[in-house]
Amino acid sequence: MIALFRAFFALLTTLLTLLRLHLGIANEDGSHDPAAPFVIDDPTLAQAIYGRLSAATPSAYYTFSIAEAVGIRAMLLIPETEHQSGFRASITLSGPGLPAAGLTPAIHPAPLTIAGRAYRLVQTHVQPLPEAGRYRIEVRRDAGSGVYCLCVGTREGGHADAAMRARIERMLKGA
């Protein structure tokens, strides 16, 4: 039991470190049309994409391509204030070599704090993708409405400028 706790704590510590390195992106208008998903140009680059879901816009779609079978990290976070208000969301990953209905990682809403802000780490996918091709991530509203953060990639490569950080902050404050 102690070994399991240590392993879980090590994973959370690693995730927290990686999240601090993510390039923040505000996707305020959403990508709610499956025919026009938000394109993630480099899924290896650490990115934190903030979006909003509601009854009127219950899903958001993201897509990326890989040239070879590689490990791509995808995590879904929900700000703690949104979680406390009843907002629930989940992700499904689909693409070549995955089940026809997609792959939905286990839901485990673990609390964590990043840069002084409380979140719930809802889902994590860290397994290598089975083959090259185009993949899609659907972020789906399960209950309530609110802001989510879809994190992808592990490679540090930049930080959000002041204007982008301000847009993200407005989203998190409900503006």
Poorest-confidence range of 8-12, 67-71, 95-99, 143-147? 8-12
- The count of structural domains within the chain is 1
Residue 85 has pLDDT above 90, yes or no: yes
**Residue 175: predicted pLDDT:** 56
Q: Taking Cα atoms as reference points, which of 124, 68, 56 lies closest to residue 93?
A: 124
**Residue 10: predicted pLDDT:** 40
What's the mean pLDDT when you consider all of the chain?
A: 85
Q: For the segment 97-137, what is each residue's pLDDT rounded down to a tens digit? A: 999 999 999 998 899 898 888 999 999 998 888 899 999 99
Residue 115: DSSP 8-state: T
The answer for residues whose C-beta is within 8 angstroms of residue 149's C-beta and 6 or more apart is 48, 49, 50, 76, 77, 78, 79, 119
pTM above 0.75, yes or no: yes
CA 77 vs. chain centroid, Å, equals 6
Q: For the segment 8-30, what is each residue's pLDDT rounded down to a tens digit? A: 444 444 444 444 447 888 888 88
What's 85's domain CATH number? 2.60.120.380
**Residue 17: predicted pLDDT:** 42
**Residue 11: predicted pLDDT:** 42
Domain that holds residue 66: 2-172
